[in-house]
A and B are shown apart, each in its own frame.
Chain A
Amino acid sequence: MLIALFWEKTLNSDLKLKEAALAPADIARRVAREIPAGAVVNLGIGIPTLAANYVEAERGVMFMAENGILGAGPLPEPGEEDKDLINASREPVTAIPGASIFGHADAFAMIRGGHVDIAVLGALQVSARGDLANWTVPGAGKGGIGGAMDLAAGAGGVYAIMTHLMKDGGLKLLEECSYPLTASRVVKKLFTDIAFIEFAAEGPLLREVAAGLTAEDVQRVSEPRLLIAKPLGTMTP
């Protein structure tokens, strides 16, 4: 009886989280608003790349890709693709007026040298102190490092994006990452489908929750103790 009650409660709260969760495009919109005007930004594969669509051109944000372009523009119209112009996700891109192109050695000198302000990266796990795990899962033959370790270590700050929970309900915001690390203490801001969290010296600070949720709802699915911003904002697209 007790177990049945607990089960029902969990199911109901899972449903609540699911109903409140932001869609990928809406997370991308929220991330885009957090990118300061004039910043140089590197975008990882997936939702991070989507975020570029929601940064208005007049904000003067420069998107760089580690395969050697500073000033990557929108995707080309169908039929307008240039076979020699791609981003790090292997998608055809355009170059905005004022863009520059260079090789890998220069691209990573920019990244390691601290010239790139923000790396927006997908995450698999994030720890209480802002460790990032995003390149592989335990076991042989999965994923790859690519530019993630250099970006995480070298960019001015990492904005990490992930769903708050695994598909099976497992936690991803943890005391310690259990997956192989990409870099230690690098995540400045974490955007999930239900929360926006900033990493302060005192620990993870819950800044916003998805509409319809409370801080307790997010705490229940987060392993580290969250500090709560006052006032706590609503995470809108």
Chain B
Amino acid sequence: MPEEHASRQDKIWSGSAAAIADIPDGATILLGGFGGVGVPENILVAMADHPAKELTVVTNHAGFGERGLAVLFRQGKVRKLICTYAFHRSAFVFREVYMEGKIELEQIPQGTMAERIRAAGAGIPAFYTPTGPGTQAAEGKESRTFEGREALLEYALPGDVAIIKAHTADRLGNLTYRGTAANFNPVMATAGKLTIAEVEVIVEPGGIAPESVHTPSIYVDRVVLGEDLELRSET
């Protein structure tokens, strides 16, 4: 990591490609976004030109259409997808690659995914949840009964890298989100060993009032201003 970027005083990087350049083969990537909103679109474009392979991607759904995450599936860079909704009719690229046996799939309940990521960021190695007993989500999992109700043991789900999208950042990496573009982004920010945020606006420290910060700077390592703010891979 170049020294000027190691500073906690200025986490702004020059562009998407530079901000992700050191992602290694085999990395587990937490990727923010839900339904085409709050997706780090510019970083996904940069990922398509990045050599990293054998990636595990953790994200809500298996992409839509031909762009964004679908490009990485097509390129064969993703070894495993962990998601909550795999087979939407618009996720036809994922389906094709999956049916060819070229990608592994772990499909998990959405709340379990959010909480596994939250646990990773909060230093909780595992927890019990009442979601999933009696379903395919329970297969191979330990369970216990609390106050008469069965619950499944679920493990924290950390990322080597979290790639997220926020609306505004200050130079220290404090973030705010806009509308339902928050979705998985704030929780993923806490659970990446390296957290990279694509944003639409960058302000000086103090430009976001302390009590208005959604993601405190401590969770964020790199900030990049999205090159094309109109980019939408899922429409």
Q: Which residues of A contact B (CB under 8 A)?
A: 65-69, 82-88, 90, 95, 101-105, 107-109, 111-112, 131, 136, 140-150, 153-154, 180-184
A-B pairs, top 9 by smallest CB distance, nearest first, are A144-B85, A108-B111, A150-B111, A84-B179, A90-B35, A149-B109, A85-B179, A104-B114, A105-B187
| B178 interfacial by beta-carbon distance below 8 Å | yes
Q: What is the CB-to-nearest-CB distance from A148 to chain B, in angstroms, rounded to a whole number? A: 8
A112/B110 in contact, CB under 8 A:
no
A154/B131 contact (C-beta < 8 A), A84-B37, A105-B115, A142-B87 known: yes
B residues 150-199 touching A (CB-CB < 8 Å): 167, 177-187
- Residues of chain A with a CB closer than 8 A to B77's CB: none
Find chain B residues with CB under 8 A from A68 CB. Answer: 180, 182-183
How far apart are the CA atoms of A87 and B86 in the complex, in Å? 19
CB distance from B119 to the nearest CB of A (A): 10
Q: Is the CB of B132 within 8 A of A153?
A: yes
> Known contacts A84-B178, A85-B179, A180-B136; is A145 also within 8 Å of B109 by CB?
yes
Evaluate contact between B117 and A105: CB separation under 8 angstroms.
yes
Residues on A with beta carbons closer than 8 Å to the beta carbon of B181: 84
What are the residues of chain B within 8 A of A182 when measuring CB–CB?
135
Q: Is B63 an interface residue (CB 8 A)?
A: no
B179 touches A104 (CB 8 A): no
Assembled-state Cα–Cα distance A131/B214 (Å): 38
A101 touches B179 (CB 8 A): yes
Q: Mark B78-95, 1 if CB is under 8 A from A, else 0.
A: 000001111110000001
Residues of B within 8 A of A (CB): 34-38, 61, 83-88, 95, 98-99, 107-115, 117-118, 129-137, 167, 177-187, 214, 232
Closest to A132 in B: B135
Give the nearest-CB partner of B107 in chain A. A145
Identify the closest chain A residue to B61 (Cβ).
Answer: A144
Measured CB to CB, the nearest residue on chain B to A140 is B99
The B contact surface, by secondary structure, is mixed
* A49 CB to nearest B CB, Å: 14
**Residue ID in chain A nearest B98 by CB atoms:** A141
Does B114 lie within 8 Å of A146, measured CB to CB? Answer: no
Contact A154 B107, beta carbon cutoff 8 Å: no
Q: Are B87 and A144 within 8 A (Cβ)? A: yes
The listed residue with most A CB atoms (<10 A of its CB), out of B111, B181, B186, is B111
Question: Could you pull out 7 A-B pairs where Cβ atoms are within 8 angstroms?
Answer: A68-B180, A69-B180, A95-B179, A105-B187, A107-B114, A146-B109, A183-B135
Which among A105, A131, A148, A150 has the highest number of chain B CB atoms within 10 Å? A105
Given contacts A84-B178, A90-B36, A105-B114, contact A145 B108 (CB under 8 A): yes
B73 to chain A, nearest CB (A): 14
What's the Cα separation between A147 and B133 when bound, in Å? 15
* Chain A residues closer than 8 Å to B38, beta-carbon distance: 84
Which one of B86, B132, B178, B186 contacts A144 once the chains associate, using CB atoms below 8 Å?
B86
Q: A86-B35, A90-B36, A147-B111 are in contact. Are A153 and B130 (CB under 8 A)?
A: yes
Inter-chain contact A144/B179, CB cutoff 8 Å: no
Which of A67, A112, A144, A154 meets B180, CB within 8 Å? Answer: A67
Report how far A103 CA is from B178 CA in the complex, Å. Answer: 11
Q: Which of B99, B110, B135 contacts A180 (CB 8 A)?
A: B135
Given known pairs A66-B110, A90-B36, the reply for A147 and B180 (CB within 8 Å) is no
Q: Determine if B34 and A67 form an interchain contact, defined as CB atoms under 8 angstroms apart.
A: yes
* Given contacts A84-B38, A153-B131, A147 and B182 within 8 Å (CB-CB): no
Residue among B36, B99, B117, B135 with most chain A CB within 10 A: B135
A184 touches B134 (CB 8 A): yes
Decide: A150 and B131 in contact? CB cutoff 8 A. Answer: yes
Q: How far is the CB of A211 from chain B (nearest CB, A)?
A: 35
- Asked whether B179 lies within 8 Å of A105 as measured between CB atoms, the reply is no
Residues of A within 8 A of B34 (CB): 67, 86, 104
**Chain A: which residue is nearest B121 at the CB level?**
A105
Across the interface, name the chain B residue whose C-beta is closest to A83.
Answer: B37
**CB distance B37 to A86 under 8 Å?**
yes
Tell whether, in the assembled complex, residue A181 and residue B130 are in contact, meaning their CB atoms are under 8 Å apart: no
Q: Which residues of B contact A153 (CB under 8 A)?
A: 130-133
Question: What distance in Å separates the Cβ of B164 from its nearest Cβ neighbour in chain A?
Answer: 11
